[in-house]
C-alpha cells in the first residue's frame, strides 16, 4: 500500500487508507477542526493493540479522499480541475453535507457553481439537477439559466434530461418556451412599419438633405422569414448566444439592410437597424418608426 505524494507529512499523527489501497499521512488536529465526524471519532480511544500510525480504513477512493482532504487543509483548495464529473461532485456533496459534516466543503462546492469554468467543463443540465437535489435555490436558478445555451435536441442533452425528475424537465422546457413566445410576440408586426408624415433626414455624406417618405417600407413576407429564423435559433439555444452569428451570416438578415434607406440618395439615414432608431407599437397597434430629434431637420404630422 503506497502513500499519496501530496499527503506524506513527516509530522503527521494519523493515517487514512482509501478503498483502493492508497494511504494518506494527515494531522488529526486539522481533521477535527474541519469535520464534526472526525472530531467525534478521534475523541474516542483507539484499541490499545493499534498504534497511532495504523491506517484507518475509509470507504472512499483515493481520488475522492484526496479532494476531501484538499478542502480540509488550509493550504489546499477545491478547483473545478479536481472535479472530473457531476457524479464526483455529487459524491463530495454527500460526504461534506451528510457523512462527515464539513461546512467548508459545502461552501467550496457551492462556489463552484459560480465559476464560469464549471459549466464549460460539466453539463449545466446535470448541475441543475444536482442543485435541485441539494435544495440550493440560487445555484438552481443559475444553472437553469445556463441550460438556455444547451441544444436539447442533441443526444447528450437528451440523456442528461432523462436523468432528471419529470417536474424538473418540465420547468426547464417551460422556461425555454416562455422565452421563445415572448420574442415571437415582440417580433410580430400586424401591419408594415411606416412613418406618419415626411421629414428631412441628414444623409451620410453630410452635404445635403433629402426629403423622403417612409411608407410601408417593411415587406411583411421578408420579415416573416427573419422571424422564423430567429424562432428556430431560439428553439435550439434560447439564450440567444447564436443570434449574432445568424445576423452576420444569413442572407435573410443581410437583405433587411436595404430597409429604411433614404429612397432619394440610398444612404442609411433611415436604417431600421441603426441603434438610434427603433420600432414601437403605438396606441393603434401600428408600428411607428421612431427617429431621434437630432436626426430630424423638419417634420410634419
Q: How confident is the model at residue 23 (pLDDT cuts 50, 70, 90)?
A: very high
What pLDDT, on the 0 to 100 scale, is given for residue 25? 95
- β-pairing, 209-213 vs 198-202, is antiparallel
Q: Which three cell numbers stand for residue 78?
A: 477545491
- The CA–CA distances, whole Å, from 281 to 24, 165, 187, 189, 301 equal 69, 42, 11, 9, 17
Give me the DSSP letters along 148-212: GGS-TTSHHHHHHHHTS-HHHHHHHHHHHHHHHHHHHHHH--SS--B-SSEEEEE-TTSS-EEEE
What pLDDT, on the 0 to 100 scale, is given for residue 209? 46
User: What residues does 199 pair with on adjacent strands?
Assistant: 212, 299
Structure pTM?
A: 0.72
Whether the pLDDT of residue 229 is over 70: the answer is: yes
Give per-residue pLDDT as tens, 101-134: 999 999 999 999 999 999 999 999 999 999 999 9
Q: How confident is the model at residue 20 (pLDDT cuts 50, 70, 90)?
A: very high
What pLDDT, on the 0 to 100 scale, is given for residue 224? 77
H/E segment holding residue 41: helix 36-42
Whether the pLDDT of residue 253 is over 80: the answer is: no
Whether the pLDDT of residue 92 is over 50: the answer is: yes
- The CA–CA distances, whole Å, from 250 to 27, 173, 240 equal 63, 27, 15
Task: Give the chain's mean pLDDT.
Answer: 78
Q: Please count the residues of the chain.
A: 301
CA-CA distance, 214 to 217, in Å (whole number)?
Answer: 6
What pLDDT, on the 0 to 100 scale, is given for residue 184? 85
Whether the pLDDT of residue 47 is over 90: the answer is: no
Give 43 or 66, the one with higher predicted confidence.
Answer: 66
What pLDDT, on the 0 to 100 scale, is given for residue 53? 74
Whether the pLDDT of residue 33 is over 70: the answer is: yes
- Rounded average pLDDT over 268-276: 40
What are the residue boundaries of the structural domains of the chain, listed by start? Answer: 183-300
Amino acid at each position: 500500500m503506497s502513500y499519496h505524494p501530496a499527503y506524506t507529512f513527516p509530522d503527521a499523527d494519523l493515517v487514512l487508507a482509501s478503498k483502493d489501497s492508497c494511504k494518506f499521512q494527515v494531522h488529526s488536529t486539522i481533521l477535527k477542526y474541519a469535520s464534526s465526524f472526525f472530531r467525534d471519532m478521534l475523541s474516542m480511544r483507539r484499541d490499545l493493540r493499534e498504534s497511532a500510525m495504523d491506517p484507518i480504513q475509509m470507504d472512499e477512493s483515493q481520488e475522492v479522499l484526496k479532494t476531501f482532504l484538499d478542502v480540509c487543509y488550509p493550504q489546499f483548495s477545491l478547483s473545478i480541475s479536481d472535479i472530473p464529473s457531476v457524479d464526483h461532485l455529487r459524491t463530495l456533496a454527500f460526504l461534506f453535507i451528510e457523512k462527515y459534516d464539513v461546512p467548508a466543503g459545502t461552501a467550496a462546492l457551492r462556489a463552484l457553481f459560480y465559476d464560469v469554468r464549471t459549466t464549460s467543463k460539466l453539463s449545466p443540465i446535470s448541475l441543475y439537477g444536482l442543485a435541485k437535489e441539494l435544495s440550493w435555490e440560487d445555484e438552481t436558478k443559475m444553472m437553469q439559466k445556463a441550460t438556455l445555451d444547451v441544444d436539447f435536441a442533441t443526444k447528450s442533452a437528451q440523456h442528461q434530461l432523462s436523468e432528471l425528475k419529470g417536474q424538473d424537465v418540465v420547468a426547464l422546457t417551460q422556461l425555454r418556451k416562455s422565452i421563445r413566445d415572448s420574442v415571437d410576440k415582440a417580433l410580430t408586426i400586424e401591419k408594415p412599419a411606416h412613418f406618419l408624415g415626411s421629414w428631412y433626414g441628414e444623409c451620410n455624406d453630410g452635404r445635403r438633405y433629402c426629403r423622403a417618405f417612409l411608407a410601408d417600407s417593411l415587406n411583411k413576407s421578408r420579415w416573416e422569414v427573419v422571424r422564423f429564423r430567429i424562432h428556430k435559433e431560439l428553439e435550439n439555444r434560447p439564450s440567444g448566444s447564436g443570434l449574432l452569428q445568424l445576423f452576420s451570416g444569413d442572407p435573410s438578415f443581410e437583405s433587411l439592410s436595404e430597409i429604411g434607406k433614404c429612397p432619394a440618395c440610398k444612404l442609411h439615414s433611415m436604417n431600421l437597424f441603426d441603434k438610434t432608431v427603433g420600432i414601437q407599437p403605438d396606441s393603434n397597434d401600428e408600428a411607428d418608426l421612431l427617429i431621434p430629434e437630432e436626426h430630424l431637420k423638419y417634420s410634419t404630422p
